[in-house]
Structure 1
Amino acid sequence: MTVAEIRIRNTNERISGESNVQAFLEKQEVLYEHWNAGKLPADLQEKFTLTDENKAQILSTFDEEIQEIAARRGYKTWDVIALSEATPNIEELLTKFEQVHTHTEDEVRAIVSGKGIFIIKGTEDVGYFDVELEAGDVISVPEHKAHFFTLMDNRQIVAIRLFIETDGWIAHPYADESFQKA
């Protein structure tokens, strides 16, 4: 099982290993858990262009985990997002995602395939840090915490998104002169 890795941008320090990652993220008020991505049917494990039936199958595969975290944290709705070179308007979407912003609810992603990266504003002593996520990683960035999400070099990801707001993903821009693009 591989787990998320963290890179602190100011120092380039890397944090790896599940207990180290979890401890660091807990201090930053970020929830980090792990689901068994191996449960996903083999034909969906490296598939990044999904039909509605594929998305329903993914939600069904992880229904127990979704119900458990939803009950614990108050999420009311969820969906599947798939991004890859095949995604129409991928550059436009990434430009939208790659702006530092906040939400009035947690931003939750359960990675089921591929890789992605959250860039999150930590405490004053830490500054911005990257959380490199792989299949099985589940992360929840708390409401009002400045962050953004983007793809890694492979530019492929499938993730389950969970929401409290039934309107789905609503971003509030966050201007921050201390933020430096990687």
Structure 2
Amino acid sequence: MAEIRIRNTNERIQGEQNVKSFLEKQEVLYEHWNPGKLPAELQEKFVLSDEEKQQILSTFDSEIRDLAGRRGYRTWDIVALSDATPNLEELLKKFEQVHTHTEDEVRAITAGKGIFIIKGTDDVGYFDVELEAGDVISVPENKPHFFTLMDNRKIVAVRLFIETEGWIAHPFEDPAFQKA
């Protein structure tokens, strides 16, 4: 289940309803899907064949189509990252910079853990959303953020897009942002 850490105060927010309520106030969508639907052999697998990626998409097809229908997403794929990923360090350096997009950034975590760092309202500042299997988050367009791996350095997630070519990151320079 997702957990939030507010960086300015180190306050932690736990529990699905509390997380959802906090994120709604920050204009961030949060949902939870049943990660137990995924076949056991894929629940802790982070190097995936095209067939296994398709199996994950098929397993969550109704949830994906429901979210896509409500939010206007037109295409989706799977991203799998682990220490086995070629050029992982270079990818993470690119991810770990505050940026915005001209569409939502959506992740539905199916295995592993990841973290979104998001710029909240002025009274909140930056906060971390620690995600695990079953957590679904949509950071709205033009909201400064970045996504990276947690200490386990393993994640599989469904990504949903409005534009069929995916989104482009636009750097967001913020002198107030400090890495944890």
Q: Give me the CA root mean square deviation.
A: 0.5
**In the alignment, what sits opposite 2:69?**
71
| CA deviations over 1:110-147 (Å, ceiling 9, x no partner) | 00000000000000000000000000000000000000
| CA deviations over 1:58-100 (Å, ceiling 9, x no partner) | 0000000001000110000000000000000000000000000
Mapped partners of 2:134, 2:168: distance in 1: 25
Task: Write the letter of the residue equivalent to 1:45.
Answer: Q
SS in 1 for 2:160: strand
TM superposition shift of 1:170: 1.2
Q: Which runs of at least 4 in structure 1 moved beyond 2 Å after TM superposition?
A: none
Residue number among 46, 49, 52 corresponding to 2:50 in the alignment = 52
Query: Across the two proteins, how many residue pairs are aligned to each other?
Result: 180
Task: Write the letter of the residue equivalent to 1:131.
Answer: V
SS in 2 for 1:59: helix
**In the alignment, what sits opposite 1:27?**
25
Mapped partners of 2:38, 2:174: distance in 1: 39
Task: Write the letter of the residue equivalent to 2:166.
Answer: G
Alignment of 1:1-182 (within 5 A): 3-182=1-180
Task: Write the letter of the residue equivalent to 1:5.
Answer: E
Task: Write the letter of the residue equivalent to 1:114.
Answer: G
Task: Write the letter of the residue equivalent to 1:33.
Answer: E
Contact 2:105 2:160 in 1 (8 A): yes
| CA deviations over 1:141-174 (Å, ceiling 9, x no partner) | 0000000000000000000000001111310100
Residue identity over aligned pairs, in percent, reads: 81
TM-score between the two structures when normalised by the length of structure 1: 0.98
TM-score between the two structures when normalised by the length of structure 2: 0.99
Mapped partners of 1:21, 1:44: distance in 2: 27
Mapped partners of 1:10, 1:167: distance in 2: 36
Mapped partners of 1:20, 1:81: distance in 2: 28
Uncovered stretches (5+) of structure 1, i.e. residues with no partner:
none
